[in-house]
Structures are given as C-alpha cells and as structure tokens.
Structure 1
Amino acid sequence: MKLNAQPFVFALTATTFIGLPLLLYVQGEAPVRSWLKEGLSVLTILAFTLMLMQYFLARSNETLLRLFKGPSVQKVHKYIAYSAISILALHPFLIVLPRYFEAGIKPWDAFWIMVTNVNSLGVVLGLIAWAAMISLGITAYARTNMMRRFKNRYRGWRAFHAFLAVSFTVVAIWHAIELGRHTDLAMSSFFLVIATLGVGMLAGLYRPERTRKSPPAPLDTTFPQGAK
C-alpha cells in the first residue's frame, strides 16, 4: 500500500507555522491585556509567520514540488502572501486601534507620535520593513510588467523579488526583536530559525544557476596563425 505524504505535509505545515507560534505566544511571560489587544497581537504574529512560510512555498522547495503540482503551490503562495501582507500593512494602525475604546490620547495623535519617533531604532526599522513589504506586494502583483524591465525577464524579476523578500525578512525580524511585546527569546529564536532555513533554501536555488551561467572557458585547441 502506497502512503500518501500530502496529509503529513499539511499537518507539519499547520503545526510549524500556526501551532508552534501560538504555543510560544501562550507560554510567553508578557502581561495579558484586553481581548482586543491580545487578539491583534495573535493576528500579527500569525501573519508574519505566514510570510516566513512563503520561503517554503517556492521553487527552492523541491520536496514540495514533487508532492504537489507547481501551479497549485504557486497559487497557494500567492493567496497566503497577499493575505498576510494585507494584515501586516494595517499593523501600524492596529497598534493604535484599541485607543478608540480607551481614555487618553486620541488614536491618530498616538499614531502620528509613533511613526515620527525617529529616535527609536525599532520604529525606524518598522517603517523600513513596512515599505519593503508594500514594495514586495506591489511588484509581485505587477510582475508581468516588471519582467519587461529586466534583461533576463523572469530570472531578473525573480532575483529582484528574492532581494526584496530577504530585505523585508531581516529588517522585520530586527524590528520585532526591538519592539515586539511577545518576541521573547523563544519567539525570536523561532523566527530566526525559520528565516535562516528559508533563506538558505533560496540561496541553494540560485547557487546552481550562477554555476551554469559561468561555465569554465573551453580549452583553445586552434593553432595560431603561421603555425605548422
């Protein structure tokens, strides 16, 4: 009887990118706040984790492509990425959303103070990560037109897409470690391990291509002019 590995892959994916971050969140030592604030924190953590999952829904994951059809993997990659980007794009606004239900500073005043606090490294990193993520989403959506701007068309755009993805990942994790309420040692380690594995797989995809593009020069077996 031939075993079907697809259910195992689904279970492993759900456990790694949903179950594990939720477990780390529950076991964290951050003081519990209102249901709204905690719910928004969980939503943000899961959205970011799903962004990291995109490294494993790419051509670099040869095992996944052997189990599932390439177009299906690409479709899942696209839908999950756009959904996660939509949530994370609202992250700065969701931070001040609970202030609508609290006394004190008005939400938009709090938002303006937050995004203009350039003396905070965490805030600056967050703004850079947000801009990189929006650029990542827009250029992915407009990839057909973007490809025309690159000499190697698809390969050129794919390299640009990978550069934006890695840049966003590095800065976003740094931002989370600097300011994240729930990014304790365990959660930070989880993000770093997943990101390292994902970027490593991506680098492994490009290394063979660079080798193929630059083969060793063939030996010149022709005789120089005048030789007998």
Structure 2
Amino acid sequence: MLTVDFDRLGLVPGDRLLDMGAGAGRHAFEAYRRGADVVALDRDAAELRGVEELFGAMRLEGQVPEDAAARVVEGDALALPFADGEFDRVVAAEVLEHLPADIAAIDELVRVLRPGGTMAVSVPRWFPEIVSWRLSEEYHTVEGGHIRIYTDAELVAKLTGAGLVVEGTGYAHGLHSPYWWLKCAVGVDNDTHPLVRAYHRLLVWEITDAPRVLRWAGRVLDPLIGKSLVVYLRKPEVP
C-alpha cells in the first residue's frame, strides 16, 4: 500500500529519487517501476537485503524500464552519504516519528534535494495516532517505536522552517486506522483474535484486489480518519 502519490510528487522517468527510511521498499519499488533512478536508504541491513533482492527480481521479470536503476544504501538519516542537491525527488514515509532529532533529519533531506526538486513526507496523523496511544501503552513504547505525535501544523512548520514550500497535503489509509485501534484494544501482538483476523483479511482484500467498494470506502474515510498525513513540498530555486 502506497502512502505517497507519485503523480503529486511529480516523478517522471529518469528522475533520481531517494527513499529515506525505505523499510521493506514499497515506495522504492513503485519509483523503480516508473523508471526512476532509485536509492533506497535504511539503517536495517536485513531489510535492505530483501529490497535489493526484489530489485533484481523486478529487473529479471521485465517489470521496469530498461534505463531505470535501483540500489540500496545502509545509512543514517542524520548524516546522509550523498552530495548536496543530488536528488530530484525525496520520499520520507513514516520515518520522522521514530527520530529524536527530527529537525536534523529534515535538514539533511533538504540538503540532498536539488533546488526545484520535490519531496513527500508522511507521518501518522494526530487523531488516529492519539487514539492508539490512549488504547495501548505497548503500541508506542516498543524499541524503535513512535516517540511523538505530530499535528498537521507542527509538521508543516518544521518542514517550512527548513526552507521548503508546501504544495499540498493529503491523507491516506482510512481503512487502516480502525484496524490499529482494534489491535490496541485487544493487544497489539494478539494477531489471533477473531476480530483482528477478520479485519486483516479485509485489508488484504483491499491490497490484492482493490474492489470498488473498498476504494470508495477509502475515499470517504481518508480525509476523516486517514492513518497517515502526507505533505508535498518543493525546494525553492536558487535566486
């Protein structure tokens, strides 16, 4: 499930894109399919091995344009191993809520984005997130878990304070918020609970088949209880 809308990001074939905090690679894979030159960065070497393997499989199966490229880099969000202005597009999806030094990470993202380039940043949305925190202490106190809840205004202020210009916002995954509220209510590790299993099957159906009824439900729920806030930004051209 993609959180970032690559059309709103402005991605075109040949763009150099950084997926910072790539995790399992969902956004990196989509950018690769669209013909970008992709760098998937994460600090988790094990996850990056899986991403690299799937990059190779996508190439072998002809799922990507001939001139597209992709690689993985193990690195630190606070010290990105790239030159200033190296990327046309930057994605940081569901990363900043994990980082104590979020402003320093934002500064690094801005540094490696070229003037005129675009960025998409997503974090858990305030209302769905605070409900989960209230329902379960365990939800956010696990190692590497969420350490803050952003309001829309706080995230925008931190991004614009780093010199970016907001081009739009959006919300995603409205169907996923009730799933996490349910998990928090019955125990975040209780995946065998009948209600959790039933709702999980619904989400799998959404992802694999994208039925019209669930697409409609998502369009209705995203602006109301969408689990993720997404901000689309541009780095101003150098005067």
Q: How does the TM-score come out when normalised to structure 2? A: 0.23
Q: Which has the larger radius of gyration?
A: 1
Indicate the structure with greater helix content.
Answer: 1
Bigger share in strand: 2
